[in-house]
């Protein structure tokens, strides 16, 4: 699929809205409501508990995992779905740490999503084995990869600026130093092609409610490289990660392969939503998607910079050095974004001063970009952001 006019018709977007926040929550595919309704009425309603077998619910985490795997360059059978991204980050990092027991340093950057850092801090505290979390500037990561490093834990695309880490180069450098890698693909999966196998990545995690359009609260995924899967020990030894969950043994034995990284009960209705979304993604050519994304972000940057001198580009200038988002810095960025939202151009704000806009060619086109620039320019030129109503900070920004 390279015809993104056709994919745009597959999404529900409110009339008149220009939605530039798919990097935070993807919009609704038109097929999702019927697919979820079918799961509710035909599966849950008619099959009740027999749906675990008759509707294939129990197999969905790995079946959907393989479909996501195509988008991220994973080997078949090495991605599983379930739980939340924070839980999957915890699992991946804990497993990686155990594989390098003689080292104590975990390296990340201050552009990593705070939740990943929180999970690392909590894991270190609960282990009590003297691990150190070292946090550096994104540009300095490669200079801190040395022989005392256990795990390099990074989000591939910076959630604030869109800065893109070079996964292949950093993974190679980490491996040369004897360390392992954990990559968070929250802002990468569905935004651009990823090649976990080609980059020789060790572990990866990601969510499905952003570019993959599975809806609010949709489950996360975890990838474990084939060379590690039979040796890594699950830190969260959940029932469904057991070798034989329905034997109800009192002692935990990890399951075979990626199944051991399962923890809790699969979210059946949310998986139905993801199933509908992946019907679109199964058709998408990821290289074409990336080319279209770059064209849209370049057009947007050029338009905003030509008309809004008050805004400062916070994303990398080089399109190959950023993901599928563009961020601008502005001291009153929160209020300015609220003024844009009030005029049906939807982006979001990240403290302290970042106005953030996401671009997914599946439902955004060049006409949308021009219209969005018109609105942003109007907000800035006429100081519409100075209205006190836009300065009242909501719980979600």
Q: What distances in angstroms separate CA 104 from CA 127, 181, 204, one per listed residue?
A: 11, 14, 20
Q: Structure tokens of 160?
A: 């604030």
Dihedral of CA 213/226/179/260: which sign? positive
Rg of the chain over Cα atoms, rounded to whole angstroms, equals 21
Q: What is the DSSP string of 189-224?
A: BTTB---HHHHT-SEEEEESSSTT---TT--EEEEE
User: Helix, strand, or coil here: 314?
Assistant: coil
Give the catalytic positions in this structure.
113, 184, 209-210, 356
Question: CB under 8 Å to 247, separation ≥6 — which residues?
Answer: none
Core vs surface per residue 276-289: b (16+ CB within 10 A) or e = bbbebbeebebeeb
Let me know if 252 is exposed, middle or buried by CB neighbors in 10 A (0-12, 13-18, 19+).
middle
Which of 144, 209, 207, 142 minimizes the C-alpha distance to 171?
A: 142
Neighbours of 226 (CB within 10 A): 14
Which of 93, 151, 180, 165 minimizes the C-alpha distance to 316?
A: 165
Which residue matches tokens 């975990």?
A: 106
**Strand intervals (E) in 250-331:** 312-313, 325-329
Core vs surface per residue 309-335: b (16+ CB within 10 A) or e = eebeebbbeebeebbbbbbbbbebbbb
Chain centroid, CA 263 distance in Å = 20
């Amino acid at each position: 699929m390279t015809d993104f006019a056709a994919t745009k018709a597959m999404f529900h977007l409110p009339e008149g809205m220009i939605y530039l926040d798919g990097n935070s929550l993807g919009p609704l595919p038109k097929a999702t409501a019927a697919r979820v309704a079918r799961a509710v009425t035909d599966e849950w309603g008619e099959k009740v508990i027999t749906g675990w077998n008759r509707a294939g619910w129990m197999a969905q985490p790995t079946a959907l995992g393989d479909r996501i795997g195509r988008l991220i360059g994973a080997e078949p059978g090495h991605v599983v779905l379930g739980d939340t991204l924070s839980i999957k980050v915890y699992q991946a990092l804990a497993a990686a740490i155990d594989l390098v027991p003689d080292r104590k340093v975990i390296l990340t950057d201050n552009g990593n999503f705070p939740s990943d850092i929180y999970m690392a801090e909590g894991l270190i505290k609960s282990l009590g084995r003297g691990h150190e979390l070292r946090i550096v500037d994104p540009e300095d990561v490669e200079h801190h990869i040395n022989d005392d490093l256990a795990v390099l834990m990074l989000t591939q695309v910076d959630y604030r600026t869109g800065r893109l880490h070079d996964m292949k180069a950093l993974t190679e450098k980490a491996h040369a130093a004897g360390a392992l890698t954990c990559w968070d693909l929250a802002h990468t999966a569905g935004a651009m092609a990823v090649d976990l196998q080609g980059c020789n990545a060790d572990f990866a995690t990601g969510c499905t409610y952003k570019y993959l359009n599975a809806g609010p609260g949709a489950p996360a995924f975890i990838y474990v490289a084939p060379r590690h899967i039979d040796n890594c020990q699950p830190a969260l030894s959940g029932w469904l990660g057991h070798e034989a969950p329905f034997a109800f043994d009192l002692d935990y034995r990890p399951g075979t392969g990626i199944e051991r990284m399962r923890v809790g009960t699969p979210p059946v209705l949310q998986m139905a939503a993801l199933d509908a979304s992946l019907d679109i993604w199964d058709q998408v050519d990821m290289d074409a998607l990336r080319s279209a994304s770059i064209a849209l972000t370049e057009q947007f940057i050029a338009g905003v910079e030509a008309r809004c001198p008050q805004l400062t580009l916070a994303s990398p200038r080089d399109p190959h050095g950023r993901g599928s988002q563009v961020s601008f810095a502005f001291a009153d960025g929160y209020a300015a974004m609220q003024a844009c939202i009030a005029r049906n151009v939807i982006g979001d704000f990240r403290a302290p001063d970042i106005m953030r806009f996401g671009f997914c060619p599946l439902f955004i086109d060049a006409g949308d970009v021009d219209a969005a620039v018109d609105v942003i320019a109007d907000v800035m030129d006429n100081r519409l952001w100075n209205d006190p109503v836009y300065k009242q900070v909501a719980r979600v920004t």
